[in-house]
C-alpha cells in the first residue's frame, strides 16, 4: 500500500533524491537521523556565526535563535526510547549578541562551563534548515516525522527559504517562491486566487533576478499589454519577436536567426518570466519551447531556460485564433519544464472579511450553493456615500467603458478641460506601445468628474488606484500662493468653508471681474478666511487666460480625504524598445488621471477597488465575473445587480487541474500518515 501510494504520487521516481529505504525505517531511526541532521546543520551555522561588541540593531538575537534548536534536540532525545541512540549536544556553542562563548552544555546535571569570550565582526547567518538537507522530505515534528514534498510536486505552504533575506514582508509560501526561483534557479509556476499577492511577489522576483543575472538575461513578459506594464515588461509575443506566433518553430527560428540583435537577445536569455500565463494558448506554449530549443541549441524544454510562470487559470481563458484554445498545463511540455508548483492561499485584498473570501472562492470554482446565492443577493442595493465619490463600475469591453464614462462626463455642467499628452519622438512602427500605458492620449475633465490616480508618490497619502473628484482647475503658482497664505489651515479633511474658498479661487483664475455668485460665496466665508483672501485673489486674477490650468482633486485617503493639484508626470514604456538609440526613451507626459466611473475588467486586473458596482446582465466570458467581483476589498462597499448562478461558468479542465494539485498535497499527507502507522 505504501509503495502504491508513493508510485501514484511520483515519489518513487528515480529523479527524486529520497532513498527508498526511508520508507521502511523504524520511528527511532527516523528520530535519530532527523536529530543528527539538525545537530550538524546547527554546528555548521554556528561555526560561521561571528559577532562583535556593538551589534547592529537589525542583527537577530542569536541566543533566541540557537536555543530553540537545542531544545528541539532535547525533545528528540526524550522521544527516543533508546538511550544509546540519543543525540550528544555537548559540542554546540551558544552565541549571544555581544560574545561568542564556548559553553559546554551538560543537560544531565544542568551545568555549563564558560570559556574566554572572543570578539569578532558580525556576520548574519541563517539558522534555518537548508532546503538541500538529506532529510528534506521530513517535517520538523518530534514523535512522528513526516515526509516532505519532492521538488516535482505541488505544495500549498512550502518551507521558508534559507538564504533569501530582504526588508519586504512575505509570508511563508511567498518566501518559498523567492527561494526556489532566485536561489535554486528552478522553473516554477505559482498560482492562487485573486488578492493573494502574486504580482507583489513577481515584482520582487524581477528585481532580484535582474540583480543576479543582469537585465539582458531576464525576459520580463506577460500575456497582455496591461499585465506587462504592471511588472515593467512587455508582451511575450513582442519580447520573443514571434509576431502572432502562428508559424512553425523552425520557420520562426530561421527568421529570427537572421536578425543579429534578436539572436544576441536569445543567446543572453537565461530566465523567462511569463505573468498571466492563463491567457497563453497551450499550442503556442509548446511552439515557444521548441523555438527556444532551436535558438539555444539545447534539446531540453525551453532550451534549458529557467521558466517562471504566474497566474490563476480560474480567471480568464487562453486567447487563440480559432477560439478553441488549450490551457498551458495541457501542453505536453508543461510537466517536463515546470518542476514545482506553489499555491498561494493567504488572501490580502479582502483580509478580515472572511465571508466575502468564502463567497469569492465559491464563485471562483463555480460552486454556488443556495447559501452563497443568498449572500450575493443581499448585495443587491445601492450605497450612497456622503463624500460624493461613487462606486466604480466594471464592464467587459473597453467600448462599454468609454461610453459609460463619456455619458457621465456629458451629464455634468460646466466647461470641458482637455489635456493633450506630449509623446517623445519615436518611429511610427512602435507608437502602438503608447496604447499599453494607463494614461490617455487626450484626457477630458470637468468639475465633478470622478477620477483615479495612476501614479504613486505624487501627492502625500495618494497612491496608484486612489479615487477622487475634480473640485476645480487652477495654475500651479495660484495653488502655491493659496497654500502659502493659508498655511495655518489643514488641507486634509478640509472644512466645507475651506472647500468653498478653494472653488472660489479656481473660478477667479484669469478673470479680472467678480461675478455676483462669487461675491455671495465670499460673503458666506468665515472672517478668518476672508482676512487674507485679497492676496490670493490678486494672484488668481492676474493669470494669463491662456495659461494651462491643472486639475485640483479631492482624493479619498485611508483617514479621510486630501485636496491637491495634480501635475503632469512622465510615463515611460518599459523595457525600452530595441528600435530606439542607446540614450533615447519612449515617454509620454500627461496628467496621471483617468475617468473612474467605469473601468474595463482587463484594466482592473491587479487593482483593489474600495467601492465597486457590478451589473451581471452584461455578457461575461468564463472567469470574468470572478475577476470583476474579486477586485472588491469588502462586501460593505460592494454592489451586485442581477446575480444569476446560471451565468457562472468555470472550465472543467481548470477544475480538474486544481483538484489534481489539491489532491497531490492531500496524498502527501496520507503517505506521511501511512509511514507513521
Q: Indicate the annotated binding residues for ATP.
A: 192-199
Q: E strands of 23-96, at which residues?
A: 94-95
Q: Coil, strand, or helix at residue 325?
A: coil
Spatial CA neighbour of 50 closest among 105, 92, 95: 95
- Contact between 169 and 323 under an 8 Å Cβ cutoff? The reply is no
Q: How far apart are CA 473 and CA 550, in angstroms?
A: 5
Q: Residues forming the annotated binding site?
A: 192-199
Tell me phi and psi for residue 623, to 5 degrees: 90, -20
- Contact between 438 and 594 under an 8 Å Cβ cutoff? The reply is yes
| Sign of the C-alpha dihedral computed for residues 118, 123, 129 and 130 taken in this order | negative
Q: How far apart are CA 593 and CA 596, in angstroms?
A: 9
Cell of 224: 497582455
Cell of 526: 468665515
Q: Coil, strand, or helix at residue 403?
A: helix
Which helix (DSSP H) or strand (DSSP E) does residue 47 occupy? helix 27-48
Q: How far apart are CA 128 and CA 131, in angstroms?
A: 9
Q: How far apart are CA 154 and CA 307, in angstroms?
A: 16
Q: How far apart are CA 393 and CA 391, in angstroms?
A: 6
Bridge-based pairing of strands 550-557 and 467-474 is antiparallel
Query: For the stretch 583-613, what's the b/e string if a residue is b when 16 or more beta carbons lie within 10 angstroms of its beta carbon?
Result: eeebbbebbbbbbbbbbbbbebbbebbbbbb
Bridge-based pairing of strands 612-615 and 560-565 is unpaired
Which helix (DSSP H) or strand (DSSP E) does residue 100 occupy? strand 100-101
Radius of gyration of the chain (CA): 30
- Residue partners of 479: CB distance under 8 A and separation at least 6: 550, 552, 565
Q: Which residue is listed with cell 477586485?
A: 631
Q: Coil, strand, or helix at residue 588?
A: strand
Q: How far apart are CA 608 and CA 467, in angstroms?
A: 11
Q: How far apart are CA 572 and CA 587, in angstroms?
A: 4
Q: Which residue is listed with cell 510615463?
A: 571
What string of DSSP letters covers 434-487? GGGSSS-SEEEE-TT-EEEE--SSSSTT--TT-EEEEEEEE-HHHHHHHHHHTT
Tell me phi and psi for residue 327, to 5 degrees: -75, 155
Beta pairing partners, 123: 50
Q: How far apart are CA 491 and CA 552, in angstroms?
A: 12
Amino acid at each position: 500500500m505504501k509503495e502504491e501510494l508513493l508510485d501514484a504520487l511520483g515519489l518513487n521516481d528515480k529523479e527524486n533524491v529520497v532513498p527508498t529505504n526511508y520508507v521502511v525505517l523504524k520511528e527511532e531511526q527516523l528520530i535519530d537521523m532527523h536529530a543528527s541532521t539538525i545537530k550538524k546543520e546547527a554546528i555548521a551555522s554556528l561555526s560561521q556565526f561571528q559577532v562583535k561588541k556593538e551589534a547592529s540593531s537589525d542583527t537577530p538575537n542569536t541566543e533566541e535563535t540557537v536555543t530553540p534548536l537545542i531544545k528541539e534536540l532535547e525533545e528528540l532525545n526524550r522521544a527516543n526510547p533508546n538511550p544509546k541512540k540519543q543525540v550528544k549536544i555537548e559540542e554546540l556553542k551558544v552565541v549571544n549578541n555581544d560574545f561568542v562563548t564556548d559553553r559546554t552544555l551538560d543537560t544531565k546535571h544542568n551545568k555549563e562551563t564558560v570559556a574566554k569570550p572572543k570578539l569578532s565582526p558580525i556576520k548574519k547567518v541563517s539558522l534555518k534548515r537548508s532546503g538541500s538537507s538529506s532529510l528534506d522530505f521530513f517535517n520538523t515534528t518530534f514523535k512522528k516525522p513526516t515526509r516532505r514534498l519532492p521538488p516535482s510536486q505541488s505544495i500549498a505552504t512550502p518551507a521558508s527559504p534559507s538564504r533569501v533575506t530582504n526588508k519586504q514582508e512575505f509570508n511563508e509560501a511567498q518566501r518559498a517562491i523567492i527561494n526556489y526561483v532566485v536561489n535554486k534557479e528552478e522553473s516554477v509556476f505559482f498560482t492562487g486566487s485573486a488578492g493573494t499577492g502574486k504580482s507583489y511577489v513577481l515584482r520582487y522576483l524581477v528585481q532580484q533576478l535582474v540583480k543576479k543575472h543582469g537585465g539582458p538575461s531576464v525576459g520580463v513578459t506577460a500575456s497582455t499589454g496591461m499585465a506587462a506594464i504592471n511588472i515593467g515588461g512587455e508582451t511575450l509575443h513582442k519580447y520573443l519577436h514571434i509576431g502572432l506566433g502562428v508559424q512553425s518553430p523552425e520557420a520562426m527560428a530561421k527568421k529570427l536567426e537572421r536578425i543579429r540583435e534578436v539572436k544576441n537577445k536569445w543567446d543572453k536569455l537565461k530566465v523567462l518570466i511569463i505573468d498571466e500565463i492563463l491567457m497563453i494558448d497551450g499550442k503556442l506554449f509548446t511552439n515557444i519551447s521548441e523555438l527556444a530549443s532551436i535558438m539555444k541549441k539545447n534539446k531540453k524544454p525551453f532550451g534549458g531556460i529557467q521558466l517562471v510562470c504566474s497566474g490563476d487559470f480560474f480567471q480568464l481563458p487562453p486567447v487563440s485564433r480559432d477560439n478553441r484554445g488549450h490551457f498551458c498545463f495541457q501542453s505536453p511540455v508543461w510537466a517536463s519544464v515546470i518542476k514545482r508548483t506553489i499555491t498561494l492561499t493567504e488572501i490580502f485584498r479582502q483580509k478580515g472579511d472572511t465571508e466575502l473570501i468564502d463567497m469569492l472562492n465559491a464563485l471562483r470554482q463555480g460552486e454556488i450553493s443556495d447559501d452563497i446565492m443568498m449572500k450575493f443577493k443581499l448585495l443587491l442595493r445601492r450605497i450612497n456615500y456622503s463624500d460624493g465619490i461613487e462606486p466604480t463600475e466594471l464592464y467587459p469591453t473597453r467600448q462599454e467603458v468609454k461610453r459609460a464614462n463619456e455619458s457621465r462626463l456629458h451629464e455634468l455642467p460646466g466647461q470641458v478641460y482637455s489635456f493633450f499628452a506630449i509623446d517623445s519622438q519615436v518611429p511610427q512602427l512602435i507608437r502602438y506601445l503608447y496604447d499599453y500605458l494607463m494614461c490617455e492620449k487626450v484626457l477630458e475633465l470637468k468639475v465633478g468628474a470622478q477620477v483615479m490616480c495612476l501614479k504613486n508618490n505624487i501627492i502625500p497619502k495618494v497612491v496608484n488606484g486612489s479615487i477622487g473628484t475634480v473640485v476645480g482647475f487652477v495654475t500651479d503658482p495660484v495653488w502655491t500662493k493659496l497654500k502659502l497664505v493659508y498655511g495655518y489651515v489643514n488641507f486634509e479633511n478640509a472644512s466645507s468653508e475651506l472647500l468653498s474658498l478653494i472653488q472660489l479661487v479656481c473660478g477667479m483664475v484669469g478673470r479680472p471681474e467678480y461675478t455676483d455668485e462669487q461675491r455671495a460665496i465670499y460673503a458666506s466665508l468665515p472672517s478668518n478666511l476672508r482676512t487674507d483672501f485679497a492676496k490670493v485673489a490678486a494672484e488668481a486674477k492676474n493669470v494669463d487666460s491662456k495659461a494651462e490650468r491643472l486639475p485640483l482633486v479631492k482624493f479619498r485617503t485611508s483617514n479621510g480625504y486630501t485636496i491637491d493639484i495634480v501635475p503632469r508626470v512622465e510615463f515611460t514604456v518599459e523595457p525600452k524598445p530595441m528600435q530606439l538609440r542607446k540614450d533615447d526613451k519612449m515617454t509620454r507626459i500627461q496628467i496621471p488621471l483617468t475617468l473612474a466611473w467605469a473601468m474595463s475588467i482587463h484594466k482592473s486586473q491587479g487593482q483593489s477597488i474600495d467601492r465597486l458596482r457590478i451589473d451581471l446582465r452584461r455578457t461575461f466570458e468564463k472567469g470574468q465575473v470572478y475577476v470583476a467581483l474579486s477586485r472588491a476589498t469588502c462586501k460593505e462597499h460592494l454592489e451586485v445587480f442581477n446575480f444569476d448562478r446560471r451565468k457562472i461558468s468555470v472550465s472543467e479542465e481548470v477544475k480538474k487541474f486544481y483538484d489534481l494539485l489539491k489532491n497531490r498535497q492531500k496524498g502527501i499527507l496520507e503517505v506521511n500518515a501511512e509511514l507513521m502507522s
